C-alpha cells in the first residue's frame, strides 16, 4: 500500500535540462523544516476515539536514480571514485583508448585464498591482495562534510570564466609533473575536487589523482540538518530498476554489436593490448595493411543473431506481464531499439536464459543465467535474510567471471553497483519498496 498512488504525494516536477542539480537543497528547505517538527512531534486529532496525540515521523531514505543520488547526497557519481558505497576506496582504471574509467576489482570481495586473486593474466594484469572496502557510515560522512561551504545558485558565464582561470592555475600548481590534463570541464570551476569529470562519461579525459575523503564531497547535504540522518544505515537507495536496465543494455549492445552501444570495439581491443591481457583478442595487422579483430567468445555471427532475435520476435507473454517486445526487434538490421526499463527487467530475468542458449557458448550463457538468477532473487517480494550472504557471494563470483570474458569498458559504474545490492537488501528489505518503478509509474499521464 505504501507504494500505491494513494500514498504518494508529488510536490514538484523539475525539467531535466533546467533542473537545479546540486541546488536542490534550496527547494528541500521547507521539507527539512517540517521533518524537524515531525521528529519533535506535533499535536494531531484521532477522529476514531476523539483524542489528541503526538504525531511523529522520520525520513527513512530517499528513492532516486543514480544521477539524483549525486545531487541529493553531494557525492559525485562520475569520475575515478564514482561508487558512493566504496567511497575513496573505489577501484577504477583509466582506459587510455576508451577515454573513460572502468570499475573492476571485484576480486576484493572474494576469500583471501581464492584462486581468482592470483590469476592476473585473466583479469586486469595484477594480483589482488586487497580486501573489500567498508562502506562509510553516516557518522563518517557527516564528519567528512564538516566545515564544507557550497555556493548555491547559477553563475554567469563571466564568473565561470574568472573561476576557470583561478582554478586552472591553482590546479596546475598542485599537480605532479607526470600528471597532464587534456581537457577541463566547465563543472570543474564550481567543483575543482571532482576529478575533472566530463558531463559525458565517454569524453572523460583526466588522470587519476589521490585526494582525501573530505575533498571528494561536492557539498554538505541538507539532509544532515535532520538530527537522526547520520544514524540512518541507508540514506539514499541504489535504484535496482536503472541498474538492471543498464546491465541489460550493456549485454545486448555487446552481443549484437550495436553501433554506439557495444562495449567491444576497436578502442576496447586497444585497451586490452595496453593492459597486456588476453593476447588472443588483440588486433592484428595483416599483410595488406588491414587490421584483423579476432572474434571473442561473446561475439555472435549473423546466423546466431537471427536465431536470438527470432525468439524475441515470436515470443508471446500473458497480458499485463510485459510490453510487446517484438515491436522493438528489427530482423533486417539485426538490432533492438526503444526498450523500456521494464522490458530490460523481463529480458534479464525470464527471456535471456532461453533466447541465448542457441546463440552463445556455454561459458557466456552460464554468466547470463547467474545474472538472471541474481536479479530474480533480489527482486522477490519475499526474501529469506539467511540467503542474502549466499546471494552476495554468488554475484561476486559472477562479476569475477565477467571480468575474465568481457572487455574492461563493459564495467561501467552501473555494472559495479551489483556488488552492493544484496547488502542494501539486508538493511532496507525487499527492493520493491525502494526502487523507481512506482515513482515513474506515478509520473505517467495517460
Q: Report the pLDDT value the prediction gives residue 120, as an integer from 0 to 100.
A: 87
Domain boundaries, the chain: 240-443
Cell of 443: 509520473
Q: Report the pLDDT value the prediction gives residue 355, as an integer from 0 to 100.
A: 93
In 115-239, which residue ranges form alpha helices assigned H by DSSP? Answer: 138-145, 157-174
Burial class from Cβ neighbours inside 10 Å (0-12, 13-18, 19+) for residue 38 reads: middle
Q: How does pLDDT run across 157-179, given as a tens digit for each residue?
A: 555 554 444 434 333 333 333 33
pLDDT bucket at 333, cuts 50 / 70 / 90: very high
Q: How does pLDDT run across 393-421, given as a tens digit for each residue?
A: 999 999 999 999 999 999 999 999 999 99
Other Cβ atoms less than 10 A from the Cβ of 297: the count is 12
Which are the contacts of 182, defined by CB distance < 8 A and separation ≥ 6?
A: 205, 206
Q: Could you give the CA distance from residue 80 to residue 93 in angstroms, rounded to a whole number?
A: 8
Q: Could you give the CA distance from residue 141 to residue 405 in angstroms, rounded to a whole number?
A: 36
Q: Could you give the CA distance from residue 240 to residue 376 in angstroms, rounded to a whole number?
A: 12
Q: Could you give the CA distance from residue 353 to residue 369 in angstroms, rounded to a whole number?
A: 6
| pLDDT mean across residues, the chain | 85
pLDDT bucket at 71, cuts 50 / 70 / 90: very high
The enclosing H or E element of 400 equals: helix 388-405
Contact 67, 20 (CB under 8 A): no
Contact 197, 185 (CB under 8 A): yes
Q: What is the pTM of this model?
A: 0.85
Q: Could you give the CA distance from residue 260 to residue 366 in angstroms, rounded to a whole number?
A: 26
Q: How does pLDDT run across 209-267, given as a tens digit for each residue?
A: 445 555 789 999 999 999 999 999 999 999 999 999 999 999 999 999 999 899 999 99
Torsion on CA atoms 329, 330, 333, 335, rounded to nearest 10: -10
Amino acid at each position: 500500500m505504501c507504494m500505491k498512488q494513494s500514498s504518494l504525494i508529488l510536490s514538484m516536477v523539475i525539467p531535466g535540462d533546467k533542473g537545479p542539480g546540486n541546488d536542490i537543497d534550496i527547494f528541500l528547505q521547507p521539507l527539512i523544516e517540517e521533518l524537524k517538527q515531525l521528529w519533535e512531534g506535533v499535536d494531531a486529532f484521532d477522529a476514531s476515539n476523539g483524542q489528541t496525540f503526538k504525531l511523529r515521523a522520520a525520513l527513512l531514505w530517499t528513492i532516486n536514480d543514480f544521477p539524483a543520488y549525486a545531487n541529493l547526497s553531494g557525492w559525485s557519481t562520475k569520475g575515478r571514485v564514482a561508487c558512493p558505497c566504496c567511497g575513496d576506496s573505489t577501484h577504477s582504471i583509466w582506459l587510455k583508448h576508451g577515454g573513460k574509467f572502468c570499475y573492476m576489482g571485484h576480486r576484493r570481495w572474494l576469500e583471501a585464498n581464492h584462486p581468482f586473486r592470483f590469476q592476473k593474466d585473466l583479469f586486469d594484469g595484477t594480483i589482488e591482495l586487497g580486501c573489500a572496502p567498508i562502506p562509510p557510515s553516516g557518522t563518517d560522512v557527516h564528519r567528512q562534510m564538516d566545515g564544507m561551504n557550497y555556493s548555491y545558485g547559477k553563475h554567469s558565464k563571466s564568473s565561470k570564466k574568472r573561476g576557470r582561470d583561478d582554478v586552472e592555475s591553482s590546479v596546475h600548481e598542485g599537480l605532479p609533473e607526470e600528471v597532464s590534463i587534456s581537457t577541463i570541464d566547465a563543472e570543474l570551476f564550481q567543483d575543482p575536487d571532482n576529478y575533472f569529470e566530463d558531463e559525458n562519461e565517454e569524453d572523460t579525459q583526466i588522470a587519476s589523482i589521490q585526494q582525501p575523503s573530505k575533498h571528494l564531497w561536492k557539498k554538505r547535504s541538507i539532509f544532515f540538518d535532520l538530527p537522526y540522518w547520520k544514524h540512518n544505515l541507508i540514506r539514499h537507495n541504489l535504484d535496482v530498476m536503472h541498474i538492471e536496465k543498464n546491465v541489460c543494455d550493456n549485454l545486448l549492445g555487446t552481443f549484437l554489436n550495436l553501433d554506439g552501444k557495444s562495449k567491444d570495439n576497436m578502442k576496447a581491443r586497444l585497451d586490452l593490448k595496453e593492459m597486456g591481457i588476453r593476447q588472443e583478442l588483440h588486433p592484428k595487422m595483416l599483410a595488406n595493411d588491414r587490421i584483423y579483430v579476432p572474434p571473442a567468445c561473446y561475439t555472435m555471427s549473423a546466423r546466431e543473431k537471427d536465431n536470438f532475435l527470432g525468439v524475441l520476435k515470436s515470443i508471446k507473454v500473458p497480458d499485463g506481464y510485459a510490453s510487446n517486445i517484438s515491436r522493438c526487434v528489427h530482423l533486417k538490421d539485426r538490432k533492438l531499439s526503444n526498450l523500456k526499463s521494464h522490458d530490460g527487467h523481463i529480458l534479464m530475468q525470464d527471456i535471456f536464459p532461453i533466447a541465448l542458449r542457441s546463440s552463445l557458448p556455454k561459458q557466456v550463457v552460464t554468466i547470463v543465467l547467474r545474472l538472471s538468477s541474481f536479479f530474480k532473487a533480489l527482486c522477490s517480494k519475499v526474501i529469506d535474510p539467511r540467503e542474502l550472504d549466499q546471494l552476495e557471494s554468488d554475484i561476486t563470483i559472477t562479476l569475477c567471471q565477467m571480468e575474465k570474458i568481457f572487455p574492461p569498458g563493459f564495467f561501467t559504474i552501473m555494472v559495479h553497483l551489483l556488488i552492493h545490492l544484496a547488502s542494501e537488501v539486508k538493511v532496507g528489505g525487499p527492493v520493491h519498496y525502494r526502487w523507481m518503478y512506482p515513482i515513474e509509474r506515478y509520473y505517467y499521464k495517460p
